[in-house]
Amino acid sequence: MDLLVDIGNSTCKFAISKNDTILFGGKSNSPAELIDLIAGYAEQVAAEQVASKQASAEQEPVPSSSPSSSKFENVVLCTVRNVDNDFLEKLAHFGSKFVQVNGEFMQKCIASGKTYPKIFNTLRHDFGADRIAAVVGALSLYPNSKLLVIDMGTAVTYDLIDGDRYIGGAISMGLNTRYRALGLLTDKIPTFSPFDRLSKQNVGQIPAVGNDTSDHLAAGNIVGLKFELQGFIDRFKEYRTIMTGGDAKFFIEALERPVEYIPDLTFRGLVAILCQTD
């Protein structure tokens, strides 16, 4: 059983990988809060293990303080935030082995001469950890394919893959980031939340022009982001499009070309990295 941790700009999440199944564990706003959630989950797992063993007539009762009962086999982290050593030490304590996926990790894999995902050879050392996991996850589902991977969160990232070769990518502002930037950097535009609008209207129902400031913001940012997405997808129509990230679910039905939505793509990538790395 492995612990998978994804620290994003807005949300911190963890999941459990067991028997080729990924189970979502929980999410928080801060790494410190996530440690508490993981600790609670680990205690629950340990208690269930103890109860199971005590219920078996062939097993001696195991004390609840057994140090190995709450250990994961592997702890795998990808983070786009700067996290302190205290967080890393606490996180590593949950597992027998700790892996942090980043550029340094890729370079060590390549230098080792051992098995590792081949796409590492064409990724820059400063490539984002979440994007490393996402492209490896996409290739684990569709090996030797031409893929456009779109991750929609605080930022929107576009990554093109051709087989095990990384072609290139792009970064733009995420939906909420666009709204916040206009509210913070102007004196007259109020700070609205795009999710208030999306709770009332689907992306496809929002007109491309509006009558008041709220409508104008929705047209320029929500519909504008839809046009941006459609533009990239049309430009690279020979690539299979995979979308992930918290905001992707709002847009997939409004796009003209078929796309695949895989919300746990980053976690799938972390599992694939574990499986493909000696």
Give the pLDDT confidence of 120-154 residue by residue, as tens digits.
999 999 999 999 999 999 999 999 999 999 999 99
Contacts of 109 (CB under 8 A, 6+ apart): 116, 120, 277
Q: Tell me the pLDDT tens digit for each residue of 88-122.
A: 999 999 999 999 999 999 999 999 988 999 999 99
Q: Looking at the structure, tell me whether residues 11 and 134 fall in a common domain.
A: yes
Is residue 149 situated within a structural domain?
no
Q: Given a cut of 90, is residue 31 above it in pLDDT?
A: yes
- The contacts of residue 8 (CB under 8 Å, 6+ apart) are 80, 81, 130, 153, 154
Q: Same structural domain for residues 17 and 90?
A: yes
| pLDDT one-digit tens code per residue, 38-83 | 999 988 877 766 666 666 656 555 444 444 445 899 999 999 999 9
The pLDDT value given to residue 58: 60
Q: What is the structure's pLDDT at 68? A: 42
Residue 155 lies in a domain: no
- 73, 81, 155, 223, 270 from 131: Cα distances, Å: 24, 13, 11, 25, 11
Q: Strand 146-152 to strand 240-244: parallel, antiparallel, or no bridges (unpaired)?
A: parallel
Structure tokens at 139: 């290739």
- The residue type found at 179 is Y
When divided into structural domains, the chain yields a total of 2
Are 126 and 206 members of one domain?
A: no
CA 247 to chain centre: 12
Q: Partners of 13 in the beta sheet?
A: 6, 27
Helices (H) and strands (E) in the chain, counts: 10, 10
Q: Is residue 216 part of a domain?
A: yes
Query: Can you tell me whether residue 134 is helix, strand or coil?
Result: helix
Q: In this structure, is residue 156 part of a structural domain?
A: no
User: What is the pTM (predicted TM-score) of this model?
Assistant: 0.90
Give the residue-averaged pLDDT of 225-233. Answer: 98
Query: In the numeric block, which tokens belong to residue 99?
Result: 């892996």
Q: Which residue has the higher pLDDT, 48 or 240?
A: 240
Q: Say if residue 110 is in the same domain as residue 201.
A: no
> For residue 237, what are the contacts with CB-CB under 8 A and spacing of at least 6?
257
Domain interval for residue 32: 2-144+264-276
Give the rounded percent of residues in the chain with a pLDDT score beyond 90: 86
135 with 20, same domain? Answer: yes
pLDDT for the residue numbered 19: 85
Q: Which residue has the higher pLDDT, 18 or 70?
A: 18
The token pair that represents 1 in the structure block: 């059983």
Q: Is the predicted pLDDT of residue 85 greater than 90, yes or no?
A: yes
Helix (H, G, I), strand (E, B) or coil at 61: coil
| Average pLDDT taken over every residue of the chain | 92
Q: Is 182 exposed, middle or buried (0-12, 13-18, 19+ CB in 10 A)?
A: middle
> Which amino acid belongs to residue 42?
A
Helix, strand and coil in the chain, % to nearest 5: 45, 25, 30
Query: How many angstroms separate the CA atoms of 245 and 137, rounded?
Result: 13
Q: Is residue 157 part of a domain?
A: no
Question: Under a CB-based contact definition with an 8 Å cutoff, are residues 182 and 175 in contact?
Answer: no
82 domain-assigned: yes
The predicted model gives 147-167 an average pLDDT of 97
- Catalytic residue set: 130
Q: Is the pLDDT of residue 248 over 70?
A: yes
pLDDT of residue 44: 84
Please work out, in degrees rounded to the nearest 5, the angle formed at the alpha carbon of residue 125 by the alpha carbons of 235 and 245.
50
Edge to edge, what strands does the sheet with 72-79 contain? 21-28, 12-18, 2-7, 72-79, 95-100
- The reply to whether 25 and 125 lie within a common domain is yes
Neighbouring residues of 5: CB distance < 8 A, sequence distance ≥ 6: 12, 13, 14, 34, 38, 75, 76, 77, 78, 79, 91
**Looking at the domain assignment, is residue 153 inside a domain?**
no
> If pLDDT is split at 50, 70 and 90, which confidence band does 20 have?
confident
Residues 179, 128, single domain; the answer is no
Determine the Cα–Cα distance for residues 73 and 75; give it in Å rounded to an integer.
7
Q: What is the CATH number of the domain that holds 64?
A: 3.30.420.40
